[in-house]
Amino acid sequence: MSMRKVLVGGGSGFVGGAFVRELRNRGFHPVIITRSRKQSEQDVIDWNALKQHGFPKDTFAVVNLAGKNIAEPLSRWTEDFKREVFDSRIKTTRFLANLVKDSPVETRPKVFVCTSAIGFYPPSNSIDYDENSKGGGDSNLFTRLCSEWEAAGRLPEDLNVRKVTVRLGLVLGRTGGIVGNSFWPFYFGLGGPMGSGQQWFPWIHVKDCAGILAHAVECEKADGVLNATAPEIITNKQFAAAFGKALGRPACLSMPEFIVRRMFGEERAELFLKGQKVHPKRTLESGYKFSYPTIDQAAAEFARVNLTESEQSRRQSVTPSSWSQKSDAHYN
């Protein structure tokens, strides 16, 4: 009996790589969607081949993680950059959704998993959000991005394809995201909160993020929206304190708000200076068990100085991001 194939857009990024490994551990056969495929590459398909030939035989699920890295500080926050942030998410999601809808019944995937982000929920100091909360709309750039992103992945209700939207929190792991970008400043005692540090920090360990995505593929009870955020609600200051504690270092050198705004641009700085209190209510109700439910447990894992050879290789091959993965799409 052949293993069930799962096609993964953005499968070579920080979260995508962890997800692909989790799929293999669960007995699935992941196939990464890339811009171009070399003849020698196995378990890879390019976007043009999908456009021309449709899904490979025995495709069980399709998962889209593709998206331009929002949080790269070396990339200026220009109109062109913002357009690429939108297009790399929305166009790839729409492309795959249309392919699912247009596929013959005999080759149509059973599951379609799209990602979005906790930016769907407007920043607030007081509101408790879960998957049933209202969000989206035009309250800011990121609620609009997430609204259009999720709309691009909608499927007809009578298509008989289980659809899941996973809203990703701030993903924490040694080889990418916020931790990958800030590890050495924290290691040398130069880390600390951003701005006041009182903003909510809706986080998740990368292994739980991969686990929730795999759960969305595997569990028939999982449908609709799932929040990929940890059960423990913390502030940015509490994150910094836990990170410093795990390293045995102080973490009290806060980054002033004006530096964050200058580094990332006014709109993008809101990702770091404002937050949301997001609960994974439906994720827990669907039966997912967190491996790292508290920030102290997560920090004890990602505050490691030495990486394995495979982790070092992955660190060198991907662009880290706290919000999403590198763009890996050809969708025109």
Mean pLDDT of 296-308: 88
Is there a contact between 61 and 220 (Cβ–Cβ < 8 Å)? no
In this predicted model, what pLDDT tens digit does every residue of 29-84 receive, in sequence order?
999 998 866 544 668 999 999 999 999 989 999 999 999 989 887 889 999 999 99
More confident residue, 317 or 223: 223
Alpha helix segments (H runs only) across the chain: 14-25, 47-53, 79-102, 141-152, 177-187, 206-218, 236-247, 257-264, 266-273, 281-285, 295-302, 309-317
Nearest by Cα to 20 from 225, 207, 286, 228 = 207
263 or 227, greater pLDDT: 227
Would you place residue 311 in the very low, low, confident or very high pLDDT band (cuts 50, 70, 90)?
A: low
Q: What is the pLDDT of residue 74?
A: 80
Query: For residue 325, what pLDDT band results from cuts at 50, 70 and 90?
Result: very low
pTM, rounded to two decimals: 0.92
Residue 37: what pLDDT?
63
The per-residue pLDDT for range 204-221, each reduced to its tens digit, is 999 999 999 999 999 999
